[in-house]
Amino acid sequence: MRTSVRIRLALTIAATVGLVSGCATEGTRPACPALVAYPAEMQRRVADEMDAAVKVGAAWPRLIEDYGDLRARCRAIAAR
């Protein structure tokens, strides 16, 4: 993965975290952004591509994991 792509991915994740961090305001119902529902086949394909691209000690998989956690929290908030 090229450095510019990694930087854009990191910035996108950071921006998403910044936007969603306002979801936990006390006393009001949070208004989180709608999540895109990715088809199962696309998720499998991306997982295969990521597995093939991972290098031992790479930092970007942690960002992807954090993004997955963020999506799970948004789904939980939306389900309330």
pLDDT digit string (tens) for 37-72?
Answer: 899 999 999 888 888 887 778 888 888 889 999 989
Most confident listed range (8-12, 25-29, 30-34, 60-64): 60-64
Dihedral (CA of 41, 42, 46, 49) sign: positive
In eight-state DSSP terms, residue 26 is T
pTM over 0.75: no
Question: Which long-range contacts (C-beta less than 8 Å, at least 24 apart) are formed by 51-56?
Answer: 53/1
pLDDT of 56:
79
Angle between helical axes of 3-20 and 60-78 (0-180°, round to 10): 30
